Copies of this chain bind each other. A is one copy, B any other.
Amino acid sequence: MFSYTVMPGFSDSDALGHINNTRLPVWFENARDPIFKIFTPEYNLKVWPLILARITVDFQQQIYLDAEIEVKTTMMKIGNSSFTIKQQAWQNGQCAATGEATMVHFDYQTKKTIRISDEIREQLEQHFEH
């Protein structure tokens, strides 16, 4: 399980007085940073190894200002070249939003998918939910 913590700010809130829904995909992406580093430990933007195929977010509770949010990320499924993770945003002891994200190991030059190596697969597998 990967953990990412963020304190929401005013620009994350909206006129309904809660956190705007569009901030969840941002925090979920930020929470994927340690996964990016499994694929590119040197964070090489010129040969970036992943492309995002799909995201979902289910909004279960409203999120508010003035309390930290923790995003918990676990592995759901690992295929030949793609994998899907589950991401949950918690605030004040409640799971407020649950998302999935499917990423593809990808070569931006050739626009082709790349098989996930056994070495990377082993690292990803350590983050399956127990």
Which A residues are closer than 8 A to B by beta carbons? 7, 9-11, 13-18, 20-23, 25-26, 29-30, 33, 43, 45, 48, 51-59, 65-66, 108
Contact = CB atoms under 8 A, between A and B. Distances in A.
Contact of A29 (B7, B11, B26, B29): B11
Q: Copies of this chain, how many?
A: 4
B13 A14 contact: yes
A5 to B, nearest CB: 10
Contact of A20 (B11, B23, B65): B11
Contacts of A29: 9-11, 21-22
A8 to B, nearest CB: 9
Given A21-B52, A29-B10, A16 B108 contact: yes
Contacts of A23: 11
Query: Which of A11, A14, A15, A23 has most B Cβ within 10 Å?
Result: A15
A58 to B, nearest CB: 5
